[in-house]
């Protein structure tokens, strides 16, 4: 399942170079992941009911093109692979001209909220990912 959201770059996201600060892209990606979870019917409270949390353990991001004030950006999120307790979401950020602004692979792990240790992916989440090899 692929999910996209659109945002507009705001003045508070711009750094002294006149473009989006690199740290803001991580927020944009987080917003995209949150929307993916919601559309997968796995919002935060659903994980909590299962006694599970998701923890981001790695983000590999490529900054491709600067984004500036007022630009409309589309953040697209799609599942790419899963392990026993980990999963990877691929995310891309494109501008309104269709140019790639950034792309990332985000690895997360499911943990037991009480024990704070990794646990196998719940089937409800694993079902969105291709079988691991």
Domains, the chain, ranges and CATH?
3-126 (3.10.129.10)
pTM of the predicted model as reported, rounded to 2 decimal places: 0.93
pLDDT digits (tens, 9 = 90+) for 57-95: 999 999 999 999 999 999 999 999 999 999 999 999 999
Catalytic residue list: 15
**Residues in Cβ contact with 56 at an 8 Å cutoff, skipping those fewer than 6 apart:** 106, 107, 108
Angle, CA 112 vertex, CA 92 and CA 124 arms, to 5°: 55
133: pLDDT strictly greater than 60: no
pLDDT digits (tens, 9 = 90+) for 16-55: 999 999 999 999 999 999 999 999 999 999 999 999 999 9
Residue 96: other Cβ atoms inside 10 A = 11
């Amino acid at each position: 399942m692929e999910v996209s959201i659109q945002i507009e770059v705001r003045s508070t996201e711009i750094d002294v170079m006149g473009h989006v600060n690199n740290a803001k892209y991580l927020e944009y990606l987080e917003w995209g992941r949150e929307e993916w979870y919601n559309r997968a019917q796995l919002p935060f409270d659903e994980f909590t009911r299962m006694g599970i949390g998701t923890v981001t353990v790695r983000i590999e991001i490529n900054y491709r093109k600067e984004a500036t004030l007022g630009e409309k950006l589309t953040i697209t999120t799609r599942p790419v692979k899963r392990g026993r307790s980990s999963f990877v979401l691929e995310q891309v950020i494109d501008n309104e001209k269709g140019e790639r602004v950034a792309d990332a692979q985000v690895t997360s792990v499911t943990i037991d909220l009480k024990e704070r240790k990794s646990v196998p992916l719940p089937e409800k989440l694993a079902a969105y990912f291709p079988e691991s090899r």
